[in-house]
Amino acid sequence: MSEPSPGDVLRAERVRRRLTLAQAGKLLGYSGSTLSRIERGRPVGVEELRRLAARYRIPPARLGLATVGPTDALDGGDDVLRRELLTGMLGVAGATLLGLPPAGAAPPGSRPVTVDGLRHLVGQAQADYMACRYSQLAKAVPDTIRYAQAVRAVVDGERCGEVEALTATAYRHATWLALRLGEDGMAVGLSEHAISTARVSGDLLVEAEAAQMGAVVVRRYDRTDQAQALVVDTAAKLESTAGLADPRHAAAYAMLLETGAYTAAIAGRRSDALDLHAEATAAARTPRAALPDTLATSVVDARFLGLYEISVHRKLGDYGTAIAAARVIAPDSITVTERRVRYFEDVALAYGAWGKREQAFHALLAAERTAPQEVRVRPWAHRLTRDLRSSGPALRGLPEFAARAGVA
């Protein structure tokens, strides 16, 4: 008897999981029709097979592969860490992305099912998100979403909106992590859940943040017009419905416009990018002391609005202007790890594109010191490392860095 083809193995795995082609396609990052063609024998390359093995969590040998190589979606990232993270994300996908019921009627463990318990879990996930603790977040988010589903089943009345808002925030964190893993197909479904749940909640602040993340997802598919419209329209809704007197709403409004500015810069729409950045800066003039402590990431981001000026100018190709904007910000003043590593990312990429290799490498090292998991899993860090290694004289310490980061 001949060995089963990769398509046969994938079809058997889908049937075993009782998934439709559409459901499995969402999990694997394909349309249902494309997956059907793969199952029927459409040729699949080695790297694509490696991705399928990782996403389905099946032994690579079943698809004719000896190992899962280091050139998956993370562009050479640490394979052990990546599998650990994907396992956590697939836990989310099984319960939410595919519309399947959670395993068991109760949340994991013996915790009582309460709104306060859900708020605690979301707060912990938020802390992991802000600290770039990818591994911890991947473990926490599936548990949080299963817990949220259990809370939904027992809460009614005025607290329903609060539960939906917390659930939407958990979906947003899951979307962020999927994007960090390069799992764009998974991020699409998770983002749709975040936006729809946020709208049901009636919390405009949570809706604004879900829309902001949704624009990032849409940008991955080069739909910059749609991404910009999403954040600009949501900003207009926030302003007309709630006004901007509340510092939280002003912060969310500013961050929506900054996301629009960065999106316009990606598309090369210079005038739109600079206009939206100026409008966002004007809207966020609220003194930092007036911004409340909250789970809202837009409020945290608004404290470091100057980071977006670096990003916008870098994407417009104005590398000298981007570095000038970076020089007026003291990195130690950026007290949130996720924001500080974004600073070093922009500085490193701006210097790299400008041809200043040594300065780019120093910023890359600073990013590693700030958040080691960032350089292990993020494609930008791996691409820059390879560029620095191949574009000029050897840089002292670069081979050792590449080894630590898992860059082939």
Total-model pTM: 0.75
User: In sequence order, which residues have a C-beta less than 8 Å from that of residue 384 and are 6 or more positions away?
Assistant: 348, 349, 352, 360, 364
Are 93 and 175 within one domain?
yes
Residue at 321 is within a domain: no
What's residue 238's pLDDT?
Answer: 94
Q: Do 193 and 211 fall into the same domain?
A: no
Residue 262 identity (one-letter amino acid): Y
Asked if residue 374 belongs to a domain, the reply is yes
* Judgement on whether residues 145 and 245 belong to the same structural domain of the protein: no
Among the three residues 150, 175, 200, which one is the final residue of a domain in this structure?
A: 200
Between helix 270-283 and helix 306-315 the angle, nearest 10°, is: 180
Distance CA 323, CA 27 (A): 40
Say yes or no: 357 and 380 in one domain.
Answer: yes
Question: Do 82 and 193 lie in a common domain?
Answer: yes
pLDDT of residue 132: 85
* Domain-terminating residue out of 200, 235, 253: 200
Q: Is 9 within the bounds of a domain?
A: yes
pLDDT of residue 46: 60
CB 255 within 8 A of CB 280: yes
What whole-number distance in Å separates Cα of residue 200 and Cα of residue 203?
A: 8
Residues 82 and 196 in one domain: yes
Q: Please say whether the beta carbons of 310 and 325 come within 8 A.
A: yes
What pLDDT, on the 0 to 100 scale, is given for residue 390? 92
Same domain for 35 and 120, yes or no, is no
Is residue 254, in this structure, part of any structural domain at all? yes
Q: What is the pLDDT of residue 42?
A: 77
Let me know the angle formed at the C-alpha of 365 by 360 and 370, rounded to the nearest 5 degrees. 125
Same domain, 337 and 294: no
Q: Are residues 191 and 213 in the same domain?
A: no
Answer yes or no: do 88 and 182 share one domain. Answer: yes
Position 315 in a domain: no
The label of the residue with tokens 């988010």 reads: 141
Domain count, the chain: 4
**Does a structural domain hold residue 316?**
no
pLDDT tens digits in sequence order for the chain, 408 residues long: 456 778 888 888 888 877 888 878 777 767 788 888 888 887 766 656 766 776 676 776 677 654 333 333 333 345 555 666 666 666 666 555 544 444 444 455 556 889 999 999 998 988 888 888 888 888 888 888 889 988 988 888 878 999 999 999 999 998 988 888 778 888 888 899 999 999 999 999 999 999 999 999 999 988 999 999 999 999 999 999 998 888 888 989 999 999 999 999 999 999 999 999 999 998 877 554 454 555 567 777 778 888 999 999 999 999 999 999 999 999 989 988 889 999 999 999 999 999 999 999 999 999 999 988 888 888 899 999 999 999 989 999 999 999 888 887
* CATH number for position 51: 1.10.260.40
Q: In the listed set 69, 104, 120, which residue is the last one of a domain according to the structure?
A: 69
Range of the domain at 249: 203-303
In-domain check, residue 309: no
Rounded Cα distance, 88 and 92, in Å: 7
What is the structure's pLDDT at 49? 72
Is residue 223 domain-shared with residue 336, that is, in the same domain?
no
Instruction: Mark whether 159 and 227 lie in a shared domain.
Output: no
Whether residue 297 contacts residue 316, with contact meaning beta carbons closer than 8 Å, is answered with: no
The DSSP secondary-structure symbol of 292 reads: P
334, part of any domain: yes
